[in-house]
A and B are shown apart, each in its own frame.
Chain A
């Protein structure tokens, strides 16, 4: 399996001595699902956001899809990564002034310069996959949280990404809406999509992930298979965390 992502000694510090990331190193192979877990403020969001350049880092090296970036890499290189890596946010972040279909076709038309009809056809296909094709003409404000998040997933798929990043995709949802989003993510994983998911959903992690990464205070404490992590975590901090969220 060829690695899609390699992080080497990623370090980021906030004001005076607080390390958001502390020498973070890991690899992710194509077609694998990595779940990132950790207490709040542990750096899991920072980690996933450095991968597509929403956060900068101070030291170390990142290789995403063969594009190498370091602390001083320019905007253009990061732009190249963003065109091949999709992201789904906790707060959906749909564009409220655009219709659902326009939300999805904006990037293909603006970034990839595809013609409108082609982009719309592909957009409708993605909406069908997510089971929300009937909402294409509506605006984000008219949809439920779960539906909005599925639109956000469809939007992140519109550029045909090779890697998808999920930053707590179900944390802002009503409990009864969580499963529709997790099911959509599960289907993507089954189709062979490479994914990094920051989440607290243990059931999802157990069933879907290939690896679980546990991070605390900016440091990776362990990377294990879900079987090992959830039944026999090697690090005491991980066991404590699992006890707390169970």
Chain B
């Protein structure tokens, strides 16, 4: 194809895209006009007049929609960050055991990864919530003096009380993501050439020392891309909170849409918030990646 022809088709493509976008926006404007709402964010300052079961900061129904959304964000971030930490810990441990020499642990962890990866997250969450937490005995299902207590009231840890909804979501997200993270860890470790294992063994260095001083530092760069995509997935998956009644940002947006009919504004807020959060996660992982690259290899 000649250069001019190429340019012509590209310009045509741009116009087709702009036309499509125009139709969408036109539709939106017509529909907004029909409902008589118009496009604005003034409603954010009005009182929300619904109550929230869980709020890390003070909240009452007379507070504004904006404040309710902010509380929703706090709830989302709370569960995303704690699941991210827990999933990484469990996933790393499972990944290590999966590649380890002990065949018992290797088989057990392979089974764990298979079962968790092959079933839908929504079902796992429901299972943790209804079968796991709500079915537990009243006061203490598992209790270690006053430090740790699991019951149908959720988890109590050092006097910190976690609701059954939060606990189920934390467990569900962490365990689901941990299976994927374990595979990322396994892949990273196995990407280190076998010769590196032989080299440290031939020097009389123990398996444990060699693993942490020779193998892991070389596997780290291979962990980062996989971990990043798992963290992004985890953040997005947290919106399934609505299924078990945890008031995350999506659940609160859903309530607001029902009350006000402001679907367009609410979805813009939602999409932008997750876009910003995930860009932030990507950025942080990029910084970690760079610092690993700098420290050798």
Contact = CB atoms under 8 A, between A and B. Distances in A.
A21 to B, nearest CB: 18
A91 B198 CA distance: 11
Interface in B216-273: 217-218
Interface residues on B, range: 20 to 34
Interface residues on A, range: 20 to 34
Interface string A77-119: 0010011011101010111111000000011001100000000
Contacts, number: 62
B203 A106 contact: yes
A137 to B, nearest CB: 13
Given A95-B214, A96-B297, A89 B198 contact: yes
A143 interface: no
Given A95-B196, A97-B297, A110 B202 contact: no
A134 B27 CA distance: 72
A230 interface: no
Contacts of A95: 196, 199-200, 214, 218
A96 B198 contact: no
Given A89-B198, A91-B195, A110-B213, A98 B296 contact: yes
Contact of B199 (A93, A139, A141, A159): A93
Contact of B202 (A86, A91, A96, A106): A86
Contacts of B203: 82, 106-107, 111, 155-156, 158-159
B202 A82 contact: yes
A54 B218 contact: no
Contacts of A53: 201
For B196, B199, B217, B295, which residue has the most chain A Cβ atoms within 10 angstroms?
B199
B199 A94 contact: yes
Interface of B: 193, 195-196, 198-206, 209, 213-214, 217-218, 295-297
